[in-house]
Structure 1
Amino acid sequence: MPMITLSTGIPALFEPARGSQLRGGLVVAQEIFGLNANIRTLCARFAGDGYDVIAPAYFDRIEAGFTAPYDQDGIQKGLSAVRATSWDQVTADTQAAIDVLRETQSRIFVTGFCWGGTVAWVAACRCAGVTAASGFYGRMINMFLAETPNVPIELHYGDADPGIPLSLVNEVRVAHPEVPIHLYPAGHGFFSDRGHDFDPTQADLAWARTLDLFDQAKG
């Protein structure tokens, strides 16, 4: 998968759109585990559905080619990277990816998973040029409930996620009743086929809802 360098200095995956239906540009925000095989597979799948896809390597300033395994050591490594990465920097990196896509696309979307789900929320609130966003199980969204998305966004949570209890989901719902929140009978990482919580039926439903939101959003 080709790599590009964003204006903020970090590398990013770039996967050009394929297929007969071109839908726009898409920023994919990673989990805490970096630009691993799961994110690369998702980028290729989104490209196959007609999106020019960019996935910034947000943690590359910490470690070139940053990835972390799906185990306790990997979780701690990923959380350390999260703590070392400011949200102002995340916003700037995301905006840089959006700006690249805007050179060729008029409709730009953001999606993200786990930590990246919060990135999608922050982008919807802070970044220019976003058409719509879809955030998956972003626990840290609750840190940003004082901010209001400027574009349509939907959120996806597993109702059996021990890391994001329904009380936190309800906090989001109360603070932003205008935001559609989809609950799935699943655990935390139900969208990732690399994790033990993967649920293909619920993942396919969330995928369809995300594409539908993007298709319906007005650019």
Structure 2
Amino acid sequence: MGETIRLKSRFDGFELAAYHAGVSDARRGGLVLVQEIFGVTDHIRELCDGFAEDGYEVIAPSFYDRIEPGFEADYSEAAIAKGVKYSTETPWDQVAGDLQAAIDALAPPVFVTGFCWGGAATWLAACRCEGLSAASAFYGRRISELKDETPKVPIILHFGKTDASIPPERIAEIEAQHPDLPIHQYPAGHGFVSDRRADYDADSARLARLRTLQVFARNGGGRSEV
């Protein structure tokens, strides 16, 4: 359904690849979808295609292209270790510049969502980027690193109650800093949206996706002509 496009980062002018999924019917808006540590995998592309079917033109940048172009990993221990390494070698200022390039490539209104490492990047976009209307961040463990920054657009957060990688105290830190922020917790573990993972929870995934679409709709994501 999608195609590969190129984006020129606002951080350093680097050209990175991105998966682009267009809409075939009435358009609700643009959406930047941010990868997990595993890269722009088939799971991420399927998520893009799904949002495109809902009327969102989607761009999913390949944030690790400077390190390993076209990086895609499975869920093996070695792949996880590599993805974690790449994520720590990718500075937040650079991520913000790449995100802004993706936002700029989409006609408004533009939204952002992301998963795992991408959940923290979604928070980053909501705080630092221009041209966004709303955001939805899924199980962003590293949001706590950025909790002192304040989102400029409406954002909702999604966490799994049994996610061992995000202990309750991390979520409490975010709540303490941003007491009015909608934080939804589900009876699931980390990565509950991905049907490739042991922690996949279909009911939680559906509810979180519904809430995501609702926050987009409330903030400009209405139907218009293509």
TM-score, scaled relative to structure 2:
0.93
**Contact 1:98/1:129 (CA < 8 Å) preserved in 2?**
yes
**Contact 1:38/1:192 (CA < 8 Å) preserved in 2?**
yes
Verify: 1:67 aligned to 2:72, yes or no: yes
Aligned residue pairs: how many? 215
Residue matched to 2:16: 10
Which one of 98, 103, 108 corresponds to residue 98 of structure 1? 103
Kindly, what percent of the aligned residue pairs are identical? 52
Q: Which string of whole-angstrom CA distances, capped at 9 and with x for unpartnered residues, describes residues 149-181 of structure 1?
A: 000000000000000011111111111112100
Deviation at 1:193, TM superposition (A): 1.0
**Contact 1:3/1:12 (CA < 8 Å) preserved in 2?**
yes
Q: Which string of whole-angstrom CA distances, capped at 9 and with x for unpartnered residues, describes residues 180-212 of structure 1?
A: 000000001101111110001110000000000
Q: Distance in 1 between matches of 2:46 and 2:113?
A: 14
Residue matched to 1:201: 203
**Contact 1:34/1:68 (CA < 8 Å) preserved in 2?**
yes
**Structure possessing the higher relative contact order (Cα contacts under 8 Å, 6 or more residues apart):** 2
Q: Distance in 1 between matches of 2:122 and 2:48?
A: 15
Residue matched to 1:107: 109
Residue matched to 1:174: 176
Residue matched to 1:39: 44
Q: Which runs of 5+ in 2 are unaligned?
A: 10-14, 222-226
Specify the code of the residue in structure 1 equivalent to 2:48.
Answer: C
**Contact 1:18/1:51 (CA < 8 Å) preserved in 2?**
no
Deviation at 1:218, TM superposition (A): 4.6
Specify the code of the residue in structure 1 equivalent to 2:22.
Answer: P
Specify the code of the residue in structure 2 equivalent to 1:10.
Answer: L
**Contact 1:19/1:49 (CA < 8 Å) preserved in 2?**
no
Q: Distance in 1 between matches of 2:90 and 2:115?
A: 17
Verify: 1:52 aligned to 2:52, yes or no: no
Q: Distance in 2 between matches of 1:95 and 1:32?
A: 19
Instruction: Please tell me the root mean square deviation across aligned C-alpha atoms, in Å.
Output: 1.0
Q: Distance in 2 between matches of 1:19 and 1:156?
A: 29
- Within-5 A mapping of 1:112-131: 112-131=114-133
Which one of 145, 148, 151 corresponds to residue 149 of structure 1? 151
Question: 3-state DSSP class of the match of 1:4?
Answer: strand
Residue matched to 2:93: 88
Deviates more, 1:171-180 or 1:27-36: 171-180
Q: Which string of whole-angstrom CA distances, capped at 9 and with x for unpartnered residues, describes residues 39-71 of structure 1?
A: 010000000000000000000111111011101
Question: 3-state DSSP class of the match of 1:112?
Answer: strand
